[in-house]
Structure 1
Amino acid sequence: MPKTASLRPRDSAAPHRPIASLAGLLCEWLPRQRWFAGRDQPVTDLAVLSMTELFPGCVHLLVHAGQGGAPAPGGASPAGACYQLLLGVRKRPAPHLDRAFIGRPQDGPLAGHAVYDALHDPRSAALLLERLRSPGTAGPLHFEADPAVRVPGGLAPRLLDAEQSNSSLVYGDAYILKVFRRVQPGTNPDLEVPEALAAQGCTRVPAPVAWFRTTEPRPATLGVLQPFLPDASDGWTLALRALATADDFTTEAHELGQATADVHLALATAFPDADGGENGHTVAAMTARLEAAAHCVPALAPFVPGLRTAFGALDGDDAGPPAQRIHGDLHLGQVLRAGPDWFVIDFEGEPSRPLTERRSAQSPVRDVAGMLRSFDYAARQRRPWHPEWARRCRDAYCAGYATRAGWDPRQEHALLRAHETDRAVYEAVYEARHRPDWLPVPMAAIERLAVREG
């Protein structure tokens, strides 16, 4: 077995001494990670908020990565954020851990040891599952589980390679553990919502079977274990496959609309006292995001006056369906199809948004608008562009939604336009910063939405 090093502090007066020599390495490593929110800015300082040795050779950290400067436009990373790290330490790591390598400290108690992201290490990943299988505590960390579910031991772990804002481990194609990288105080919606929907008997969302959290520096959710659907395909992959083979996707879109409505109905029942707050402050927030985005993406500037009119619908007396708990970041990548059924996943919402905002009641039209934008994105992945494919899918999705919800999103034209506009503005900022070649996709929607329709 590879030799590991203990990360226990040498004395109580310097509880975080072992990590002090790592600060420089982590400041360089963090901005290169897909899940790090502030990749366009350097990490200027690093503060350890919590440090717990889970087992020999693996330490759990919560760190505050400070980044100088004001918050970026469009709601992106502010001047710093809290991140969850699991670090492995070995004298001579195995070759398969090369891609997880962070560096070798030059001094301190870890001098000469290789430090790496422990989630890439099958041994560490397997031991993490064992902690979840045996509820208990490790310092400020609390491992908890549904007593009605028995998770078997010995499940082989593998880390998913998909680019996302968190890290996910699959165990034996039976369970998936999402480790939240960016941590905010409070209960994460990706634990709170599936747990509440399971209590309602909603089968559209996999129920959590185990989770872990911290009590320091403030209570927060750190990870959630749920059943894995090994034979499922995400909606984005299925949509692109249909486009590539010129297949119709309206049946799937119609059924997806029904699934979305089922989840919305269950959410309304599970959270009857959700704190609303639509209309007035929503209009102000959308307008502020638009104006900030125009500074970040100059191409938006000519369309700002027209886009601003879209938000007026939220100030009217007819505000559409009541505000309630929603998904918050719904698109084709957040749904899975296994056999004939659609499942909805990833209720965390946009990690860059405050947790209180993500847990607040909002119009269900926001989720619908997110999915409609996703159909447009999919259609534009093929050349020539297929606008009719997107239109048919959008209509089928709304029709399916109406059969379950009792109201048709297409009849809330002004409200739908407002939420589509807000989503397209967000997309324009994201693409300008991360995928400039994709900017024409939201800009095409911006041009359409800037003109008052109907």
Structure 2
Amino acid sequence: MTSLGERNLTERDRGLTAALITLLDGDVPQPFGLRRFQQLPSFSHQDAGFHPGVPGERAFGEHVDQTNYSVVVGDQIVVKWLTPPAPMPHPAVDVLAHLVEAGFNQTAPPYAALTLREKSGEVLLALVTGYLPGARDGWEWCVDEAEAGRTAFAADLGRLAADLHLALATFPGAGPPAGPLRAAGRAERALREALDLTEGDDGRWLASRAGDLRRELAPLTAPITTPLIRIHGDLHVGQILRWRDGYAVIDFDGNPTVTEAEPYQPAARDLAQLTTSLEHVAQVAVKRRGTPPGQAADWARAARGLLLDAYRDRLAERDGRHLLDESLIRPFEIEQECRELIYAARHLPRWRYAPMGVLRTWYDDTEETP
């Protein structure tokens, strides 16, 4: 078991994950540790296929959870084995524990975190959460919405994001800025890197708009006065599942591509990443579904407006208006597109079409400025 997080599971590991689940209600022997969030569901073992009294298990499939390795147990529980194990403290463990305490339930139910004490310190081996029947992530269901021209879902996402931020705003350590944030410098570095890494016609076009982009980033040079909360850190439509009973936000591991990101930031940071992901969905619909570009751009604009309106309204309903500084949304959106270009250049070149498509949509009708 100690090696499971270091590699993908194989056929010889069949049954280990399910067997682990049956042991989690009891004491966990050293050097393992267990942090429990909620009571595990009970299992009916009648469908066990490989061992009497143990629930069946199956993999999610090759197309899901490429970074780690997830196993579905008894169609009730998901065990995500971290590959490789991650050092503790781990952001997901603390955030999930807090969300349970805060009463936020629009996520896959968190049950437990399995850790291992090594000579070098404690590491996180696995996260145990609930299985959501019929779940599809936003890179599937949201592209369907864009292709069909439907936008009503965006209000649900706005309320979901607001409820999440209201819960995270009570995380210990949240509050007014204690000193200057590195937001402006971080955004300028992202822009410079995107300019350096983006080649060809896209690179020349991007360079021609550098002045516009820098002006959009200017609000980040002013002192940030909005409260800093424990943000999700990687909030895009791919982290929002649509399942049998609604929507659920998942993956509180933080942004794996931004090592210097502070865990406490303005809520606008998350919100900007979520709105830009709608723009990316529109680009995916153009490229993969043949949606006309103008229609996709109109859809993204309408969906973004509905999401923001619902987000504001929910904050207002719950006395949370102070959490959002709207002047930060656009500069964080620009920074996010720069980070998408950096990610494409370093890891996934075929993705470049999406952020470039968004930026061209935003700026192609404006005069080029130095």
Identify whether the pair has TM-score above 0.5, normalized to the shorter chain.
yes
- The structural deviation recorded for 1:154 is 1.9
Structure 2 Cα separation of the partners of residues 169 and 85 of structure 1? 15
Q: In the alignment, which residue of structure 1 is the partner of 2:47?
A: none
More helix by share: 2
2:18 equivalent among 96, 106, 126: 126
- The structural deviation recorded for 1:176 is 0.9
- The structural deviation recorded for 1:275 is 8.7
- Tell me if structure 2 keeps the 8 A contact 1:336–1:342: yes
- The structural deviation recorded for 1:222 is 2.6
Q: In the alignment, which residue of structure 2 is the partner of 1:401?
A: 311
**Cα deviation code 1:397-441 (max 9, x no counterpart):** 0011011112789x9554111111111111112223344333122
- Tell me if structure 1 keeps the 8 A contact 2:114–2:127: yes
Letter in 2 for 1:166: N
2:33 equivalent among 133, 137, 142: 142
- The structural deviation recorded for 1:118 is 3.9
Matched residue of 2:29: which SS? strand
1:326 equivalent among 231, 244, 248: 231
1:309 equivalent among 192, 200, 215: 215
Instruction: Please give the root-mean-square deviation of Cα atoms over the aligned residues, in Å.
Output: 3.1
Q: In the alignment, which residue of structure 2 is the partner of 1:60?
A: 3
**Cα deviation code 1:60-87 (max 9, x no counterpart):** 17xxxxxxxxxxxxxxxxxxxxxx414x
- The structural deviation recorded for 1:247 is 4.3
- The structural deviation recorded for 1:390 is 0.7
CA change 1:269–1:145 in 2 (3 A) is closer
Matched residue of 1:173: which SS? coil
**Cα deviation code 1:253-308 (max 9, x no counterpart):** 11110111011001112335469578541211222232233332231444444323
Which residues in structure 2 correspond to 1:221-236 (within 5 Å)?
221-236=124-139
Q: In the alignment, which residue of structure 2 is the partner of 1:173?
A: 75
1:364 aligns with 2:267: yes
CA change 1:280–1:146 in 2 (3 A) is closer
Structure 1 Cα separation of the partners of residues 356 and 241 of structure 2? 28
- Tell me if structure 2 keeps the 8 A contact 1:417–1:449: no
Query: Percent of aligned pairs with the same residue?
Result: 27
Matched residue of 1:254: which SS? helix
1:262 aligns with 2:163: yes
- Tell me if structure 2 keeps the 8 A contact 1:174–1:227: yes
CA change 1:400–1:127 in 2 (3 A) is same
Structure 2 Cα separation of the partners of residues 339 and 278 of structure 1? 44
For structure 1, list consecutive stretches of 5 or more residues without a partner in the other structure.
Answer: 1-53, 62-83, 87-99, 101-116
Letter in 2 for 1:428: L
Range that drifts further, 389-398 or 263-272 = 263-272
CA change 1:198–1:280 in 2 (3 A) is closer
Higher RCO by CA contacts (8 Å cutoff, separation 6 or greater):
2
Structure 2 Cα separation of the partners of residues 357 and 173 of structure 1? 36
CA change 1:164–1:275 in 2 (3 A) is farther
- Tell me if structure 2 keeps the 8 A contact 1:133–1:151: no
Q: In the alignment, which residue of structure 2 is the partner of 1:19?
A: none
Matched residue of 1:269: which SS? coil
For structure 2, list consecutive stretches of 5 or more residues without a partner in the other structure.
Answer: 44-52
Matched residue of 2:150: which SS? coil
Which residues in structure 2 correspond to 1:208-357 (within 5 Å)?
208-216=110-118, 217-244=120-147, 246-249=148-151, 251-273=152-174, 276=177, 280-298=181-199, 299=203, 300-317=206-223, 319=224, 321-339=226-244, 341-354=246-259, 357=261
**Cα deviation code 1:19-50 (max 9, x no counterpart):** xxxxxxxxxxxxxxxxxxxxxxxxxxxxxxxx
Structure 2 Cα separation of the partners of residues 232 and 377 of structure 1? 21
1:185 aligns with 2:87: yes
CA change 1:150–1:430 in 2 (3 A) is same
1:436 aligns with 2:349: yes
- The structural deviation recorded for 1:326 is 1.0
Structure 2 Cα separation of the partners of residues 201 and 147 of structure 1? 12
- Tell me if structure 2 keeps the 8 A contact 1:276–1:324: no
Letter in 2 for 1:263: L
Q: In the alignment, which residue of structure 2 is the partner of 1:85?
A: 6
CA change 1:146–1:340 in 2 (3 A) is closer
Letter in 2 for 1:424: E
Rg: which structure is higher?
1
Q: In the alignment, which residue of structure 2 is the partner of 1:112?
A: none
- The structural deviation recorded for 1:442 is 0.4
Structure 1 Cα separation of the partners of residues 172 and 84 of structure 2? 25
Structure 1 Cα separation of the partners of residues 85 and 186 of structure 2? 23
CA change 1:416–1:379 in 2 (3 A) is same
Letter in 2 for 1:145: R
Q: How many residues align?
A: 338
1:157 aligns with 2:57: yes
Structure 2 Cα separation of the partners of residues 119 and 175 of structure 1? 19
Which residues in structure 2 correspond to 1:1-16 (within 5 Å)?
none
- The structural deviation recorded for 1:164 is 3.0
**Cα deviation code 1:308-347 (max 9, x no counterpart):** 3332202225x46322111111111111233563221111
Letter in 2 for 1:342: Y
